[in-house]
Amino acid sequence: MVTLDLHGYGWMLWRGLGLTILVGLGAMALAVTFGLLGAWGKLSRYRAARGLAGTYTTVIRGVPELILILLVYYGVPTLIQDLAARAGHDLRVDLNPFVAGIATIGLIYGAFATEVFRGAFQAVPRDQVEAARAFGMGRALMLRRILLPQMWRFALPGLGNVWMVLIKATALISVIQLEELMRSADIAARATRLPFTFFFAASLFYLGITIVSMVIQGRIESWSYRGAQRG
C-alpha cells in the first residue's frame, strides 16, 4: 500500500483544487451561454446563423483542445499585436491565463453544450408549442415560458456529462502556467522528486470531483423528473 505523504505540499494541491473548480465553474457558465447561442443558431430560420453554428461545432470537434488553448493564449495576443502593428500602433497584449483558460474551455465545451441544447429543444413535444400558439403566445413569450422551462429537463443529463468532461479538460490549462490542480501537482512533484505521489494524489482529487458530480447529477436528474413521465 502506497501511503500518500505529501511532504507539506498538501495545501498546494487543495489550493490548486479550488482554482480548478473555479475555472471549471466559470468555463461551464460560458459553455452554457455558448451552447444556448449555438443551439439557437442551429435551429434558426436564418441560413447564416445555421452556417455559423455549424462551423463552430465542426471546427471545435475537429481540432484538439490543446491546439485551441495554445492558439488562444499565445496566438490571439500575437494576432492582435500584428494587426495593430499593421495599423501603425505598437501594442503589447498579454492574456491572463485564468481568463484565457476559462475562455478557451468555455468555447470548446460550448460546442458540446450546443448539441445537448439542440437535442433538448427538439425533445420538447411539438404539441406543447402548438398549444402555446393556440393561446396566442408570440415567439419570445413561448420560448421564455414554455420551451425553455421544459427544455432544461431534457438538457440536464447531457449538461452533467459536459461538466464531467470539462472539469477534466481544465488540467490542460496547466500548460499555460495557471496554478490549478495539475500545475500545483507538477510543481510539488518537481520540488520533492516524487512525481508518482503527487500526480496520483492529483488524480484522486479529479476522481473525487467526478464521483461527487456523478452523485449530484443523479440527484438532480431524479429531482427534475418530478411530474414527468419516465420513458
Partner 1 sequence: MDLAIVWESLPRLLEGAVLTLEITFVSLLAGLCLAVPVAIARLSHRRILWMPAYGYMLYFRGTPLLVQLFLVYYGSGQFQPLLDQAGVWFLFREAYFCAVLTLTLNTAAYTAEILRGAIIAVPRGEIEAARSVGMSGLLLYRRIILPKAFRLALPAYTNEAVFLLQATSLVSIITLLDLTGVARIIVARSFEPYKLYIAAGLIYLVITYTFVLVSRRLELRLSGHRREQPVGGVGSASGR
**Contact residues: partner 1, CB under 8 A:** 58-59, 61-68, 70-71, 74-76, 78-79, 109, 112, 115-116, 119, 158, 161-162, 165, 168-172, 174-175, 182, 185-186, 189, 193-197, 199-200, 202-203, 206-207, 210-211
Closer of 193 and 230 to partner 1 (Cβ): 193
Closer of 146 and 181 to partner 1 (Cβ): 181
Residue 198 CB partners (closer than 8 Å, separation 6+):
6, 9, 13, 185, 186, 188, 189, 192
Shortest spacing between CB 222 and partner 1, in angstroms: 21
Closer of 61 and 144 to partner 1 (Cβ): 61
Closer of 29 and 214 to partner 1 (Cβ): 214
Closer of 30 and 169 to partner 1 (Cβ): 169
Shortest spacing between CB 144 and partner 1, in angstroms: 26
Angle (nearest 5°) at CA 146 between 141 and 151:
125
Residue 100 CB partners (closer than 8 Å, separation 6+):
69, 72, 73, 176
Closer of 7 and 139 to partner 1 (Cβ): 7
Shortest spacing between CB 147 and partner 1, in angstroms: 20
Shortest spacing between CB 84 and partner 1, in angstroms: 14
Shortest spacing between CB 100 and partner 1, in angstroms: 13
Give CA–CA dist 87/109, Å, rounded: 34
Shortest spacing between CB 194 and partner 1, in angstroms: 6
Closer of 74 and 152 to partner 1 (Cβ): 74
Give CA–CA dist 35/114, Å, rounded: 4
Shortest spacing between CB 42 and partner 1, in angstroms: 12
